[in-house]
């Protein structure tokens, strides 16, 4: 049994923390939301009064938080985990970008605390079932130390020791995922307006060269049934694509398609709210084409 901490018990973090408990590890946890704390306590976690208190209690701490600002504040801010008396390894499971990863690694190193980034992909379903992909970077010795814990979440891929490598891989992945939704929305809208059956379109695409994560999973699960509840918000998708564009600018890489998708996400958030599902990008494309985005399932 390993003693470990978990900060950020939302839909992703809560599911990952539960998997650690189910695997027999002692989990000490904290979240700002009482409901999230209570839910994990019912699963057997020990709950503390603050993020700092987690790092006072256990040597390894995982974080799953919504944006880079919260990640930095939780790790390096006043009363953050960096001040913890027992903390030896901090693992950021969030998508916070390569610049933040470098800042965290440097800040934690001043206290001789190892920093590992391990952003995840696979959604809530993957978090619950332990089928996430994890993109790891940081000191190799630390990676080997926490690898058995990370494998509880899914399949980890070690991207190298350079801070930011894992975050860069995650941003590329999320950019491609968002682009797949956007272009699938355009193609499907064109077909539907021309009179094609959308279910048959998806069947054809999934055995043809146009198949993607969008046609294989997102359309059957969330768009064709018109539920738009895949489980990842448009606000978070927009945050990730913006992080990707910022990282690309630093590298001198133009992302014309990515910029267009960012604009579509901005319109989705503006029209439907940050908490709307990222598959709701399809509604914006349909509306632009004169289709009723609130039409019933096909």
Hey, which residues are catalytic here?
170
Task: Report the alpha-carbon distance of residue 276 to residue 33 in Å, rounded.
Answer: 21
Residues in the chain: 298
Count the Cβ atoms, other than its own, within 10 Å of residue 186: 17
CA 259 – CA 246 distance, rounded (Å): 11
How far apart (Å, rounded) are the C-alpha atoms in residues 103 and 115?
A: 10
- Could you give phi then psi for residue 130, rounded to 5 degrees? 75, 35
For 122-278, strand residue ranges (E) read 132-136, 154-158
Burial call 45-56: b when 16+ CB within 10 Å, e when fewer: bbbbeebbbbbb
Beta bridge pairs of residue 275: none
- Contacts made by residues 82-86, CB under 8 angstroms, sequence distance 24+: 82/55, 82/107, 82/108, 82/111, 82/113, 83/52, 83/55, 84/52, 84/54, 84/55, 84/56, 84/57, 85/55, 85/56, 86/55, 86/56, 86/57, 86/58, 86/59
Distances (CA, A) of 133 to 46, 56, 169, 185: 27, 29, 11, 25
């Amino acid at each position: 049994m390993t003693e470990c901490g978990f900060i950020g018990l939302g839909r992703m973090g809560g599911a990952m923390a539960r998997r650690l408990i189910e695997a027999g590890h002692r989990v000490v946890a904290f979240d700002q939301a009482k409901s999230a704390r209570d839910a994990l306590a019912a699963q057997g976690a020990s709950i503390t009064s603050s993020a700092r208190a987690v790092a006072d209690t256990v040597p390894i701490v995982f974080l799953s938080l919504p944006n880079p600002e919260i990640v930095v504040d939780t790790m390096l801010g006043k009363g953050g985990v960096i001040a913890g008396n027992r903390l030896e390894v901090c693992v950021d499971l969030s998508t916070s970008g390569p610049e933040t990863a470098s800042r965290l690694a440097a800040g934690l190193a001043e206290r001789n605390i190892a920093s590992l980034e391990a952003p995840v992909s696979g959604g809530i379903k993957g978090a619950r079932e332990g089928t996430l992909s994890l993109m790891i970077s940081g000191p190799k010795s630390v990676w080997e130390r926490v690898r058995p814990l990370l494998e509880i979440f899914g399949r980890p891929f070690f991207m190298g020791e350079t801070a930011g490598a894992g975050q860069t891989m995650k941003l590329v992945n999320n950019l491609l995922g968002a682009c797949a939704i956007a272009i699938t929305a355009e193609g499907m809208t064109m077909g539907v307006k021309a009179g094609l059956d959308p279910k048959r379109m998806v069947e054809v695409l999934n055995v043809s060269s146009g198949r993607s994560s969008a046609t294989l999973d997102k359309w059957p699960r969330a768009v064709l049934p018109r539920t738009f509840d895949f489980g990842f918000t448009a606000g978070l998708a927009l945050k990730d694509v913006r992080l990707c564009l910022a990282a690309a600018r630093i590298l001198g890489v133009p992302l014309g398609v990515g910029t267009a998708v960012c604009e579509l996400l901005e319109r989705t958030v503006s029209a439907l709210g940050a908490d709307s599902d990222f598959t709701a990008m399809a509604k914006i494309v349909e509306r632009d084409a004169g289709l009723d985005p609130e039409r019933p399932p096909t």
